[in-house]
Homo-oligomer: A and B are copies of this chain.
């Protein structure tokens, strides 16, 4: 089974998720600049989630680049990842509308944590289909970002009960370490080609 349709479907779902979030930015009723003020936290949550979904799209792109066969279990692991990502607009909206309260901030982290786990499962399923000389296994060998992120999300969920702003700071930090483009797979692929 080819991977083209899996990519197309994932692109479609991610494109919709990233765009649906903006529907949370409901058109304000006033016309003054003060009418925008209550939207600021919603807007900032939207920016953060846009970056997270961009990271997922970019990494998903790289990972499937190093994938050849799509088995049934890869297909379902991919749907599982998309499921958790589809909940991002919900937790983004909840966090934004409540100006970063405790439970919404923790829920935001929970969905990010589950997405990170789902991404890891998908990665493992693809490596399993590639056997012992898996390009992807080599590529993600020193995947410290993938290992550190879930731990940071867990920390953020716990610290949200101290202050939701600490959780928020951790989410921004994790996004920043990922925005640096993931050159690991590219490097190994280039190395193999030489």
Q: Chain A at the B interface: mostly helix, strand, loop or mixed?
A: helix
Q: Is the CB of A102 within 8 A of B31?
A: yes
Q: Give the copy number.
A: 4
Which 3 pairs between the two chains have the least Cβ-Cβ distance? A72-B181, A12-B15, A31-B101
Partner of A13, one of B7, B18, B79, B181: B18
Q: What would 18 A/B residue contacts be, using CB atoms closer than 8 Å?
A: A7-B8, A9-B11, A11-B12, A12-B15, A12-B16, A16-B16, A16-B19, A16-B20, A22-B89, A22-B90, A24-B27, A25-B90, A50-B86, A54-B76, A71-B181, A72-B181, A73-B181, A76-B179
- Cβ contacts under 8 Å, A93 to chain B: 27
A contacts with B, residue count (CB < 8 A): 60
Across the two chains, which residue of chain B brings its CB closest to A61?
B5
Q: Is the CB of A1 within 8 A of B61?
A: yes
